[in-house]
Structure 1
């Protein structure tokens, strides 16, 4: 879309980044299922490889379908650019890659998806990186965990699995003081409910597999750059501020300014890590985003009804949904997620682990899958699946105790979801 009027979210989720196909006039973004692109001549090819001209070389780096998705997500998040990749986990590595060196560390929230805790707690050690996990409600603990080798702070806007809301304004004040970037996983909230860059985030990551696509068909990830961080303020980020040997000494921040991180993510990250999103996945996600606001409104509406019903049920110990007035994060929702607390939360079943297993097996409308953010309502027992690899202490910190099930509320009739939970709870606690 051209510069000019300021468009609303509902308009941007359909039009941002998309233009009629110049060759055919096709209105929907085509799936450019191609590996490579013909250069105009040798001079054109050299300019592309030298990063002197923007264009398409090879689909590991750039693809027209993926490019539309990148621009759309960046626009919805209020960023200057984005890099899409093969999964949410890939996006996390892609986000850290330009920032880290062997011996560097990140400070991460204890309230993260179990796979992220494993990736940060174990896998990244193979790169010589490390992570310190801290309760992000304890700002003094976050400050104390940051040292001279810390290169980023990482959290989720709405945490998976418990639906905990992070005080992004408070955390970004800490990272600003320390002079390091704040990375926010906005998967559970989406830019419709929360725009982390407006709360001080430097980078935003997504598993586009979830709410952005919304139909459980393809995996994908995205890293959005705010364009607001000064990568040359000190010597902590040499990949962005110092000469790059692979491009004859080019300095990304000096050359590309606010787009330095985005260009690095494509020219170095995708080139060397190869975590590429395929164009068909980008196409499905683009179609999903066209209805994002409508779906998120229904997710929130249904989640509020289901959570209130569960909270009043004597077979349930507690519900973690931040949209409940009883939640300690209820007031935080108003400032961080003013359109609602999302559709993801947990509840504790009386009867513990065994009752949770019975509940999951008895549900009929809810699908028992390792996913969230689908149009369908989903359920999983985190302690025995997504968070199984964690210690009991880590499970408790993440809100994934043995007596807890996680539900992702879909867009079905709320009354049908409640009836399904009712019959399953009866079987689980009888």
Structure 2
């Protein structure tokens, strides 16, 4: 690699990887190993004491996973990254160093249903709490922050509705409060938006989705901007105060911009064990090589299909931000200048029953609990991904009972429109 800044597509193929030093293999090998032989006793002691970087045990570090971490950090413009077993694991990993019993976060109401459940229910078992706020109301975001707030959390392009968050405005609020902004960039990917460029401290992904792009593996990642001053206050003792497990080592003082990344491996993966497997990392590395090509086709199809749906007599609304009718259209040039993504919802005039018939009548669209696949996908959130929420929460999240979520794939748009048309007719 050279010192000259490189373009997205070059980084997507080359960042974080070199030819295998042992064999010359051009593609990153799958290092399917549990442990690694130490050179000697001093080498082992240095690794365990965080005095030397290297490989100990694949719950912590692995060369295949390391290559993926380096590539994603380069694409997101981060100082480092830690991969883990899923997007949900990434959310816990991002918050683990920041939180303690009695602490809280402020999160957008427009989130994936599973995230809302994790934040509102599972957090209670850790003694954490979450206040959900409409992030279009910046005054409400400010008002929700108190002395115990340790982070603000939102999605770049919200799942399921495809709403675009004003990241710059939210980051300014986080900066004023002296707390990190965590952004889930799953539905945008770094091809459409790099949240760190808009002031985010941490970026999380479900790598299961667009980054891998073929529906084969689950995975997650936390990317650290390396720009937050963890020692500016006493709010983040895990990073700014001596760590007993490492003989009083202070992560921020010792590792500087890499403090959060080192903590994620040395504490997070060590104790939580949310490890990605090497084969999954390999699939994701291969998927990222074609990310920009896929995203361009995803977006072209989504624009065409959303416009067609908006004019259909059975449809009462389409939430795609790329439509002229969308209240979020003005945010595209600033947040996602290459396009509004390929995830959006459709409201049917026939309500809940029509949605169920519509989903059942589709042929090319696969009815699955996933998004970001090369294949077009469909789901009725109110009866599935957001089923555990109250109807009020469903509406706030953009998943009301009359709503179907579409993840537009890279097939021929005309074939997808034909499939949607016959299913809408069948649904009455």
Q: Does the pair score TM above 0.5?
A: yes
Distance 1:235 1:6 in 2: 36
1:399 counterpart = 2:398: yes
Aligned to 1:194: 193
Question: 1:269 maps to what in 2?
Answer: 268
Q: How far apart in 1 are the matches of 2:373 and 2:402?
A: 24
Report the equivalent of 2:65.
66
In 2, Cα distance between the equivalents of 1:234 and 1:6? Answer: 34
Question: Residues 280-331 of structure 1: CA distance to partner in whole angstroms, max 9, x if unpaired?
Answer: 0000000000000000000000000000000011110000000001000001
Tell me how many residue pairs correspond in the alignment.
Answer: 428
- Helix, strand or coil: the match of 1:205? strand
**In the alignment, what sits opposite 1:7?**
6
Q: What residue number does 2:76 align with?
A: 77
Cα deviations by residue, 1:399-422 (Å, 9 ceiling, x for unpaired): 001000000000000000000000
Structure 1 equivalent of residue 300 of structure 2: 301
Deviation digits for residues 317-359 of structure 1 (CA, Å, limit 9, x no counterpart): 0000000010000010111000000000000011100000000
Q: Structure 1 CA distance, aligned partners of 2:31 and 2:362?
A: 41
Separation in 2, partners of 1:194, 1:312: 29
Q: For 1:391 and 1:83, how far apart are their aligned partners in 2?
A: 34
Q: Distance in 2 between matches of 1:133 and 1:5?
A: 42
CA RMSD of the aligned region, Å?
Answer: 0.4
Deviations 1:162-193 (A, max 9, x none): 00000000000100000000000000000000
Partner Cα separation in structure 1 for residue 136 and residue 214 of structure 2: 33
Partner residue, 1:135: 134
* 2:83 partner SS: strand
Q: Deviations over 1:345-393 (max 9, x none)?
A: 0000111000000000000000000000000000000000000000000
The correspondence of residues 219-298 of structure 1 with structure 2, limited to 5 A, is 219-298=218-297
Give the structure 2 partner of residue 43 of structure 1: 42
Q: Find out whether 1:214 has 2:213 as its counterpart.
A: yes
- Name the structure 2 match of 1:109: 108
Pairwise CA distance, 1:86? 0.1
> Which runs of 5 or more residues in structure 1 are unaligned?
none
Deviation at 1:208, TM superposition (A): 0.1
Query: Could you say which residue in structure 1 is the equivalent of 2:416?
Result: 417
Q: What does residue 380 of structure 1 align with?
A: 379
- Map 1:147-158 → 2, pairs under 5 A: 147-158=146-157
Aligned equivalents of 2:400, 2:332: Cα separation in 1: 24
- Runs of 4+ with deviation above 4 angstroms: none
Q: Matched residues in 1 for 2:301 and 2:9: separation?
A: 20
What is the TM-score with the length of structure 2 in the denominator? 1.00
Q: TM-score scaled to structure 1, two decimals?
A: 0.99
Residue 238 of structure 1, CA deviation? 0.1
Q: What is the DSSP-based 3-state SS (H/G/I as helix, E as strand, rest coil) of the residue aligned with 1:22? A: coil
Q: Which residue of 2 aligns with 1:100?
A: 99
Deviations 1:203-255 (CA, angstroms, capped at 9, x unpaired): 00000000000000000000000000000000000000000000000000000
SS at match of 2:54: coil
Distance 2:123 2:314 in 1: 41
